[in-house]
Amino acid sequence: MFVYRLLVAPTWKELTQEEANLATTHDIHFGTIDCSVQGDLCHEHEITGFPMMKLYVDGKFVTTYIGPRTKESIKTFLLEQHAAAANEEKATSGSNNSNDNTNTGNTLVKANPNGQSLDFDGDLLKQAVEQSGRPYFVKFYAPWCPHCQNLAPIWEQMAKELKGQIDVAEVNCDDHKDVCYENGIDRFPVLKLFVDGQVFDYSGDKSLTNMMMFAKKLAGPVIKTVNEAQLKADLDPSGVAFIYLHKDDTDTADALLEGVAKQFIDGLTFYKSADQKLARQYELSLRDLPLAMIVKDGHHFLYPGHQFESPANMEALTKWIQLEKYPVVSQINPINAQEILQGQRVVVLGVFGKNDEASSGQFRKLAEKGTDRDRRSRAKADRAIFAQLDVDTYRDFARNAYSLQKNSAPAIVIVDGKNDQYFNRDSKLNLLDLQQPQVILQTLDDVVGGKITGISTLSLPARLGQQLQHGYHQARSHSYLTMAIITALGVLVYKVVSNRREQASKSTLLPTAHQD
């Protein structure tokens, strides 16, 4: 193992002296390269920070050591790598092909070998991202932050669960403000997955199951290669899946498709296949390949294009997936709440109890009718999303966002997140009723057409700010009057914000936790 340095750290000196016997007992040797003298050599070995420790086996680079800079941790790492190399040698020693040279590569290096979340500074984070070749799930936090304190035991448990699978780390933003600034951290905690030169923010709830699911899905292959039998076994009938069918293994769209798949990591499962049986199953001609489709709710929807080789093709495909990625009825949860309820498309939201199967069934029929109608007649940008909110699980959100009590269910609300408003009444000011589906669809048309007035989802201070901004240009020509109005309203806003800070935030809360 070599350390590349400008100055030899005392820890490294002590380690090499105390563990010199490892050369005899385990054939582990230490070396030091002074980059102030051997600059070309350090450049050749891609040394980007100091000190940097790299492991070589049989003259081949294996990995960069990323972990605590203590003698005990480094020694443990070396012994683990030695054991892994010995096991691999035993596994390959019985090979009949004497000319087969085993390529050690990174196969010796286990992700997260100790099931721990490592404390990172800037250098360690950079080395992990740029040198390890492995995904890292990183928490940026502040010790004083209550949400961070609540997350700490869950994060520790997650690191244990991901032992041997995915590396886990954390950055204390009080101690490493520069690192957090460079990574755009503006709140706490923030969770980011670094993989293959890309960074993915985790925006779901901080539950052990969902965080692990996110990390495993992104760290593994984002597109599953399947045959007909494998797809049948894996396909979730209640979910949404993207399937790419192609003719043979010479298809060149893999890299671009992976980039698209990573944009939809929270919602869709991506598959690819060259199995001709699948084409016949979906009544497709082999002449049509390659092709892409979305499978959901027992139906498949074909992407209109057949070109997948360029970034421009992928951009068009991404827009189409954005349009088709929702099932007939989406279930609102902490992962998709912001995207759906504060997104660009109008949402018809059914609010029911978890055991109200009758209302759920009626709402699904409404959604099927509305979705089919939208697909045939409405402009793409105006197509609505139909979603369902469990009022038993998210009663606080239903009350704060839409003034719905638990006994208000079943209820229908049309949400226009783009314009921060919702609608619970039709043009005749009657409450929307699930028993009148045609009235609901007509109200949806009125909302999209801007024919009726909704209820703001913004708090009072936010509404005042919005009105000030909206009226600014109209009042510019009356500068003195404008200044007086703005001053008066500014005082009012300040008082309201000061007295109602807690209430001001409630209406914009998204469902991030269950109420039992």
pLDDT digits (tens, 9 = 90+) for 450-498: 999 999 887 655 544 444 444 444 444 444 445 544 445 554 544 444 4
Q: Are residues 144 and 198 in the same domain?
A: yes
- Check whether the bond before 51 is cis (ω within 30° of 0): yes
Q: Are residues 339 and 429 in the same domain?
A: yes
Residue bearing the bigger pLDDT, 258 or 503: 258
pLDDT(42) > 80: no
> What's the rounded mean pLDDT across residues 51-72?
75
Q: Are residues 337 and 450 in the same domain?
A: yes
Residue 513 placed within a domain: no
Q: Are residues 187 and 258 in the same domain?
A: no
Q: Are residues 242 and 287 in the same domain?
A: yes
Q: Are residues 320 and 335 in the same domain?
A: no
Q: pLDDT by residue (tens digit) across 15-41?
A: 777 777 777 666 787 778 777 777 777
Residue 192 placed within a domain: yes
Residue bearing the bigger pLDDT, 443 or 407: 443
- Best CA proximity match to 348, nearest among 390, 387, 395, 404: 387
> What's the rounded mean pLDDT across residues 434-445?
94
What CATH number does the domain containing 395 carry? Answer: 3.40.30.10
Predicted local distance difference test score (pLDDT) of residue 249: 67
Predicted local distance difference test score (pLDDT) of residue 439: 95
pLDDT(12) > 70: yes
Predicted local distance difference test score (pLDDT) of residue 328: 92
Predicted local distance difference test score (pLDDT) of residue 476: 46
Q: CA dihedral defined by 323, 328, 334, 337, rounded to 10 degrees? A: 50
Residue bearing the bigger pLDDT, 332 or 378: 332
pLDDT(276) > 50: yes
Query: Quick check: 270 and 242 in contact, CB under 8 A?
Result: yes
pTM, 2 dp: 0.61
Q: Are residues 229 and 245 in the same domain?
A: yes
pLDDT(98) > 70: no
Residue 506 placed within a domain: no
Question: Which structural domain, as residue segments, surrounds residue 490?
Answer: 460-499
Predicted local distance difference test score (pLDDT) of residue 381: 60
Predicted local distance difference test score (pLDDT) of residue 469: 46
> What's the rounded mean pLDDT across residues 112-135?
83
Residue 281 placed within a domain: yes
- Please, what is the average pLDDT of the chain? 79
Q: Are residues 62 and 143 in the same domain?
A: no
Domain boundary among 195, 219, 243: 219
Residue bearing the bigger pLDDT, 284 or 111: 284
Q: Are residues 438 and 371 in the same domain?
A: yes
Q: pLDDT by residue (tens digit) across 241-260?
A: 999 999 876 677 777 888 88
CA distances in angstroms from 109 to 54, 56, 127, listed in the order given: 12, 11, 15
Residue 111 placed within a domain: no
Predicted local distance difference test score (pLDDT) of residue 27: 75
The Cβ of residue 65 has, within 10 Å, a number of other Cβ atoms equal to: 24
Q: Are residues 450 and 464 in the same domain?
A: no
pLDDT(110) > 80: no
Domain boundary among 268, 294, 324: 324
Residue 104 placed within a domain: no
Q: Are residues 130 and 191 in the same domain?
A: yes
> What's the rounded mean pLDDT across residues 4-9?
47
Euclidean distance between CA atoms 389 and 359, whole angstroms: 12
Residue 509 placed within a domain: no
Residue 504 placed within a domain: no
Number of domains in the chain: 5
Q: Are residues 373 and 436 in the same domain?
A: yes
